Amino acid sequence: MTGTPLPRLAPGSTIGMLGAGQLGRMTALAAARLGYTTHVYAPDAADSPASQVSAAATVADWDDLDALERFARSVDVVTLEWENVPVATVEHLRRFTAVHPGPNVLSVAQDRIAEKSFVNALGIATAPWRPAGSADDVARAVAEVGPRCVLKSTRLGYDGKGQARLDGGDGAAAAWAAIGGGKAGVEGIVEGFVTFACEVSVIVARGGDGAMVAYPAVENRHKDGILDVTIAPARVTPETAAEADRVARRIAEALDLVGVLAVEMFVTPDGAVLVNEMAPRPHNSGHWTMDACASDQFEQLVRAVCGLPLGSVERVADAEMTNLIGDDVLRWPELLAEPGARLHLYGKAEARPGRKMGHVNRLVPRR
């Protein structure tokens, strides 16, 4: 699929950012390197990681139509660092300025059932799954996908939140309650476990003209449901890496994405890939690009939404990225003293268990 090139925004233009976390912070820093300013909009934007490095911040609710209009009229383009911004918010903003990615992308990425259905319709495999709207549905789904599976809320949950493991149908009611089943708007999806050798992800950038570049597949390791370490490139065969690249590009094209897309995949013992999740914004597993690539994932987002040519994804080194979760951040003095370690802190005042406080990249010569 090809597209229409976007109007090229000159340096000095202002990028509107929906969301105010660390991904917005690192995008704002990348935008500043290219001469752009950033205006952050979020209910929690006050003294947030992104607002600390942005030219302006609007603190308002997602449904505050007057504040949204003022925000839209103050910027030249809008993007996001969080895919769960309400679709209605994006649709309202588009009345006044361009928004990338658009509501069509968010409607797929915000809902796990919509996401799985979209991917499967492209002929791309996922783990077996079934929708679930009640504890009885969960029990029936377990019988169909297999006894070892996980129940997830269809919306929001991340980093292990909104999930409950199942090991047979007897725990269906408890699992349904654990994800908030029965509350208004809560739906679930049961996903069967698959035997896999590793998890990989590919980050692809796509411009309005349909041009795409993709970073190499990387290997992800998790701890307590949160990404712990990313190894770049992934230690998989060239054939598996090429298939992961193909899958990510196919999804980005089918979404008609403008921006950056991360696709997480399981690699089976025979080298096949199964899509797990996707996120239409910079991703934790792409933080290694900040120090190991000619253009990092945050710069690619800026380039894509501003109508600029996409940057080079040439890898100047192999890398290992380690997240700093909670009190891990207290190691900052020793990390600063470690030769070759590249420390990135997010400006968060309070370290809490499970909270991403920063990351460190370690570079090694290319294999």
pLDDT of residue 151: 87
Please state the CATH superfamily assignment of the domain spanning residues 198-364 in this structure.
ATP-grasp fold, B domain (3.30.470.20)
Q: Which amino acid is at 317?
A: A
Share of the chain above pLDDT 70, in %: 95
Q: From residue 317, how far is each of 87, 289, 320, 349, 358 by CA, in Å?
A: 39, 10, 10, 32, 21
pLDDT at 37 over 80: yes
Contact 127, 266 (CB under 8 A): yes
Residues of the chain with CATH 3.40.50.20: 14-109
| Whole-number pLDDT of residue 185 | 67
Q: Is the peptide bond before 339 cis (omega within 30 degrees of 0)?
A: no
Where are the CATH 3.30.470.20 domain residues in the chain?
Answer: 198-364
Q: What are the start and end residues of each CATH 3.30.1490.20 domain in the chain?
A: 128-192
pLDDT in tens, 199-243: 999 999 999 999 999 999 999 999 988 999 999 999 999 999 999
Pairing of strands 129-132, 56-59: unpaired
Tell me the whole-structure pTM to 2 decimals. 0.93
| pLDDT recorded at residue 4 | 76
- Give the model confidence (pLDDT) of 249-277 as tens digits: 999 999 999 999 999 999 999 999 999 99
Q: pLDDT value at position 157?
A: 60
Q: What average pLDDT is seen over the chain?
A: 93
Q: What percentage of the chain has pLDDT greater than the value 90?
A: 79
How distant, in Å, are the alpha carbons of 21, 49, 73, 348 from that of 46? Answer: 11, 9, 20, 12
Radius of gyration of the chain (CA): 20
The domain defined by 14-109 carries CATH number 3.40.50.300: no
Q: Classify residue 273 as left (phi > 0), alpha (psi -120 to 50) or beta.
A: beta
d(C-alpha 233, C-alpha 244), whole Å: 12
Q: Which secondary structure element, helix H or strand E, spans residue 112, and what is its range? A: helix 112-121
Find the mean pLDDT for residues 7-20. Answer: 97
CA atoms within 13 A on the CB side of 185: 3
Homologous superfamily (CATH) for 128-192: ATP-grasp fold, A domain (3.30.1490.20)
Tokens coding 220: 């992800």
- Work out the number of other CB atoms within 10 angstroms of the CB of residue 113: 16
The whole-number pLDDT of residue 316 equals: 95
pLDDT in tens, 273-289: 999 999 999 999 999 99
Sequence-ordered list of residues with C-beta below 8 angstroms from that of 172, at least 6 positions apart, any chain: 135, 136, 138, 139, 142, 166
The 10s digit of each residue's pLDDT in 130-184 is 998 888 888 888 888 888 888 898 887 655 567 878 775 558 887 878 777 667 6
**Residue 175, pLDDT score:** 80
pLDDT in tens, 82-115: 999 999 999 999 999 999 999 999 999 999 999 9
pLDDT at 2: 60
DSSP 293: B
Is 147:113 a contact under the CB 8 Å cutoff?
no
**CA torsion 263→32→40→113, rounded to 10°?**
-10
Determine phi and psi for 31, rounding to 5 degrees.
-65, -40
